Amino acid sequence: MASHPLPLSLFLSFIFFISSSSHFSHALEKTGNHMIKQLNLHPNLEVNILKSNTTSSNDELKVSEPELVEKRLSFPVLGESGATVADLAQHAGYFRLQHTIDARMFYFFFESRKAKADPVVIWLTGGPGCGSELALFYENGPFKLTNNLSLIWNDYGWDKVSNIMFVDQPTGTGFSYSSSDQDIRHDERGVSNDLYNFLQAFFKAHPNYINNDFYITGESYAGHYIPAFAARVNQGNKNKEGIHINLKGFGIGNGLTNPAIQYQAYTDYALANNVISKSDYSLINQKLPYCEKAIKQCGTTGTDVCESAYSFCQQIFEDILSLTDNINYYDIRKKCEGSLCYDFSNVETFLGKPSVKAALGVPRNIEFVSCSDLVYRSMLNDWMRNLEVGIPALLEDNIQLLVYAGEHDLICNWLGNSRWVHAMSWSGQKDFVTASNVSFLVDGKEAGILKNHGPLTFIKVHNAGHMVPMDQPKASLKMLELWTTGKLVQPKKGVVSPL
């Protein structure tokens, strides 16, 4: 019989490869559920789907039309806020999402402690499927949560220089809920439309903020959410769809944005930081071409093969972890304590208290879902999509992009983020690539390495892991303040070695 090349797809060639190699595991070691537990989070529910909300004891939040219902907060907080604003407005509320069966999006809004004219900033926590309260109480919110479940003012909360909102999204995350699992989102189109509709309702309810500069921020899987959301806002503005939102910039912290480039960087980062050996590096790198091919098949629109691409490529990360002694992949300077990398359990206890839910205006029968494994799994076809593709058009419209990354994070490491930022094709790419690296200074000391050209800025943050605002609160607050006031670029005299 004459031989001829087999017309196997890239997808099938990879299946053949893994089935014939003893070095490949047939099951991922880490699931979304496992990763949640490494934060010492144990949500009572897998997702906030309330099959019937007709028994809710809170009539105020029985919203029948797409609208926003808000409650003024009156939390007792220890210490002094340092606010110069006499009447410090703080709210929590629900927005009934349009184009859904019954979805409600929960959010917090905190007025700037300095000036009501400060920018409006929205923060999106990643996961996918983790509530914004993790950032609110452990990173850059107005308050810190103590071990005795008291609130104290955060001296470096981002509300010191901005009017900031924290949103529980996608549906089913945090206190956001629906009575139908059909409202669970599976891609960035659904996520960004929900957020855009929420913004329209928010600014309608708060017209005094319409003219403020607006910035989108977040971290981790929000590296997917943020570019899609920014593009949606820009599109809405150009099409005059509703209230014009004064979008000035979007910032991604230790994000996953361009998986094809970022997964290729895992072994390089791990080797450079002595996480793996040279022989381990060579062995794991044999899987990189198959990961790259699987991602190409996934494309940018999201198909059934995208979940397979996730499994193929995630094995690279899993292989690295299997060679370590229980390393904390959010901060390689540390080990996970037992099976835990962090202990964020206080947030679940605090937000589960009936008195706290009443203060927030949350119905009694709604549970706080710190991280939703179901939302995580529902977004698997979205995971390997390249969200960098929509960014150049935003840069051409002079919408500012800040990408920052703590240098000790493995899972969304600075090297992979730097590479996709440098590889991105736009009119200023050449000038950005050749621009000098300068010191990012805070109180006269180098807090990171910065590169900038035009609307694009990248910062590698020193002495920080995955959660920069938690590890380096003063530096992250200064970064936000300088960025939103157009003063982030440092003097050229601080030139340092290449990134």
Would you please indicate which residues are annotated as catalytic (active-site) residues?
A: 220, 409, 466
Strand, helix or coil for residue 114: coil
Any bridge partners for residue 219, and if so which?
A: 253
- Cα–Cα distance between 329 and 257 in angstroms, integer? 18
Phi, then psi, of 123 in degrees rounded to 5? -115, 130
Any bridge partners for residue 178, and if so which?
A: 49
Helix (H) or strand (E) holding 322, with range, is helix 305-322
Q: What is 265-306 written as a DSSP string?
A: HHHHHHHHTTSS-HHHHHHHGGGHHHHHHHHHHHTTT--THH
Residue 164: burial class (beta carbons within 10 Å; 0-12, 13-18, 19+): buried
Alpha-carbon Rg for the chain, nearest whole angstrom, is 22
Longest dimension (CA), the chain: 87
- Cα–Cα distance between 111 and 123 in angstroms, integer? 14
Tokens encoding 125? 């926590």
Residue for token pair 């590296």: 223
Any bridge partners for residue 168, and if so which?
A: 106
- Cα–Cα distance between 377 and 373 in angstroms, integer? 6
Tokens encoding 35? 């990763």
User: Is-contact 298 348, C-beta < 8 A?
Assistant: no
User: Is-contact 98 119, C-beta < 8 A?
Assistant: no
- Cα–Cα distance between 213 and 211 in angstroms, integer? 7
Distances (CA, A) of 424 to 417, 432, 450: 11, 10, 17
Count of H-run helices and E-run strands, the chain: 18, 14
Strand, helix or coil for residue 461: strand
Residue for token pair 């390689």: 332
Four-point Cα dihedral 168, 171, 174, 180, nearest 10: 150
- Cα–Cα distance between 111 and 232 in angstroms, integer? 25
Nearest to 257 by CA among 239, 282, 231: 231
- Cα–Cα distance between 123 and 136 in angstroms, integer? 9
